[in-house]
Chain A
Amino acid sequence: MSKLTDHIRELPSRRDPPYRPLATIDDAERAEITSKLGSTENYFDLLQLRELIKEDPDNIEFRRAMVSSIASAEYAGVDAFSRKVCEWQDWDVPWSLIIAMARQTWDEVRHSQLATGVLESYGGKIGDYPDTLAGGGPPPVMQSAAGGAYAAAAESLFRDPVASLSMVNVSLEGGALTAFQETSKLGERIGDELLAHCYDYNWADEVTHTAIGDYFVKALCQDDPEQERKALRAHAFFEMSRGPRLNDEQSQELKEFFAEEIQRAHAVLGGSH
């Protein structure tokens, strides 16, 4: 293991102002968000934030909340992809993949700058709202869940390039395509040219990120059905965690996939069924 990787792993994720995950805010801050947005749940739900803006385009606070929520994920992206640039050098992956992660880090930096700029145009700033995603792994409440087993499982998945690329680049960034397209359309609808332009720009980058992920997953899985299965499993795992947004038959397809996975695990472990 390289010294750089060791060093990076020991470093806390830092931002100024510091990350403040939504799961860790106190009752006073929850009450403040409720007074601004109607409920804290509205802040966590990008679809609902867009709906609030459509309902009352003159309420600039709704726009501040929506862009704060997106900015939070962009900052987490800078943290996540820059760590990959360092950590994945210890893995047997093509150098071009490391360079692709470096490129994506800079894309996330630019997206963070864009989001910060849009937020400032509304009179807001980073830290006004808590973070919907915080860099440097799951928040404390998740880290302690199931005696730390959940965090350990997530950690191990995110440190595997095939699984990580499937979950983050292909599934998450693929999902972000819709989020940014809809946000850009919202900007057009309410006459907010800056919002429309910035998120159209972001959308184009997300297409590239998804393409990067898919390209390298294909390369790493070539002629290796087990690796390909792992990539599918990681994609399914990630999509399952967003279950409520799936339709009936899509959920059924996922359930059948996992049922097959359980059968495979039984077979490997020597079970009868």
Chain B
Amino acid sequence: MSNRLSDRELIDQIRAGRVAAYRTLVDSYRDYVYTIAYRILGNREDAEEVAQDSFVKAFKGLNAFQGQAKFSTWIYRIAMNTAISYKRKRKVAVETIEDYKQFDRGEISEMHQYQRLEQKKFLQLALNALLPDDVSVLTLFYFKELSLDEMSEITGIGVNTLKVKLFRARKRLSIALNKILKQEVTSLL
């Protein structure tokens, strides 16, 4: 059984002045926050900057954080808004297949690893063709542990509208991905 304190308890400790407790929260949500930023931006350096900025914003706003919401939904919302705003303000460079190889840490066979890298690359290329709002909704949906209500809380979109948005985003992603895959097949022939 884990001895880890709950997010609520950690936040109380931080508010009481034990700033080091924030590290536990950062370590718990770092990868999720980074993934949201990366999916929206399609670039690791920018995603790192946005993830850092999101956690610092969350720390500054901890006093305003209400106990009714989960810390996870709150930090995801901050990350999503920060990434979308970052993308609107700056031109973000898209990574190449070599960048994907460099960052992959999976211990799997070379063939499988190559396949996975290809999949990641094509997925990210397809995501780059979508609007940031669509990417956010898709990323949160595929986190799996989030309910539609939580997704609604994060995105600020009503549940019914969110279902429609998600449906359309999945269709757009499918169209974008299939277009990319067709181009890839054509280029190989």
Q: Is B one of A's binding partners?
A: no
